[in-house]
Amino acid sequence: MRDRMNQKEESRNSISQDKMMEQLIKRTQESYDRKDGDATSKYFLPDSELPFWKCTTTKEDPHIIDIIPFYAGDRFPTELNRRNPVLKDDYVYVLEVFVHSGIGPAKEMILCPLKNYGKPCPVCEEIDIQIKEGREWEEYSDIAPKRRCVYNIICYDSDKEEKKGIQIWEVSHKYSEKPFQSLAKNPREGGIIPFAALQKDAGMSISFEVAGDTYKTISGHKFLPRNYDIPRNISDDAYALDQHLLLRDYDYIKEKLQGGAWRSGKTETSNFSREQPSDSRRQAPKPTQQDDSRDSCPCEHEFGVDADRFDDCENCEIYKDCSEEFDRRRASAKLKRR
């Protein structure tokens, strides 16, 4: 036994200094690469050290949070609201972004240059090719841009959580801003509730539940009146979230995309997966509410093109018209290919 320990010791000593350094660098790089701890920080700068909140499954009590506004930096996405984009030092409460996930062998989450900043995006170009070739949504839905929201929050689940101060909540639009917006519409006065205001008379706390299912479904969103102002010393700690975004250039994204199992569909020999997904979003059309503007998307996506590509599509009032137009275009693209 003793001999074996000595042998081990000797073999350890025989590792050269260079080798040790090499291993350390490798481990540090690995740690850097997965620094996030979970998926949420993957499109943020690895050294930004944002304190991400773990939105755990709730049991008896819902989560209760306050959203804390912040001053925008100079990297805010411009495309979501092109007419009135967020500028540096604007006072805002949410960072909304479009993210491609599952890119390349490492399944990276990558901010879409096109949907966020109006710049060319290799993933969107690839999706356009797939659409023109008449492929089904299910075949490229994995990499389609998804709308995500990021907030500075304070969580009141326990004293311990509250003492952490500002934390960052990264969540799908469907489970956050979308229900918040429905709650924020003030039916009595026709106005809007500025729920992220610091003042007690205007701002609201928000409660919600998180299910233990695969999707960690968030439901039961409620606004709760607040009897306290958010102190300045807390709100001053809020992060300029856009400053922490990890923006990848065209070549990097293209390289990752082509390095994946998923290659350019420009030729007939596309490796694009033809496996059928387990859940089809096409099963989710909601009762339609007819609208005058049936050929323009209320969520600022492209009518007849973006059908099913976003979380918004699920409950969209013009879903039926939009997906019919989508099908019509696809059928005509198929005809052209013959």
- Return residues touching Zn ion (CB under 5 A): 112, 114, 121, 123-124
> Which DSSP letter does residue 306 get?
S
Q: Which is nearer to Zn ion, 204 or 307 (CB)?
A: 307
Q: Are 161 and 155 in contact (CB under 8 A)?
A: yes
Nearest alpha-carbon partner for 51 in 183, 189, 165: 165
Amino acid type, 249: D
Determine the Cα–Cα distance for residues 172 and 288; give it in Å rounded to an integer: 23
**Residues in contact with 291: Cβ distance below 8 Å, sequence separation at least 6, in sequence order:** 298, 317, 318
Minimum gap (Å) between residue 114 Cβ and Zn ion: 5
Minimum gap (Å) between residue 5 Cβ and Zn ion: 56
Q: Which is nearer to Zn ion, 112 or 257 (CB)?
A: 112
Q: What are phi and psi of 179, to 5 degrees?
A: -65, -35
Minimum gap (Å) between residue 124 Cβ and Zn ion: 3
Minimum gap (Å) between residue 168 Cβ and Zn ion: 23
Q: Which is nearer to Zn ion, 123 or 316 (CB)?
A: 123
Helix (H, G, I), strand (E, B) or coil at 70: strand
Q: Which is nearer to Zn ion, 125 or 209 (CB)?
A: 125
Minimum gap (Å) between residue 129 Cβ and Zn ion: 13
Residue 134 region, left (φ>0) first, then alpha (ψ -120 to 50), else beta? left
Q: Which is nearer to Zn ion, 234 or 305 (CB)?
A: 305
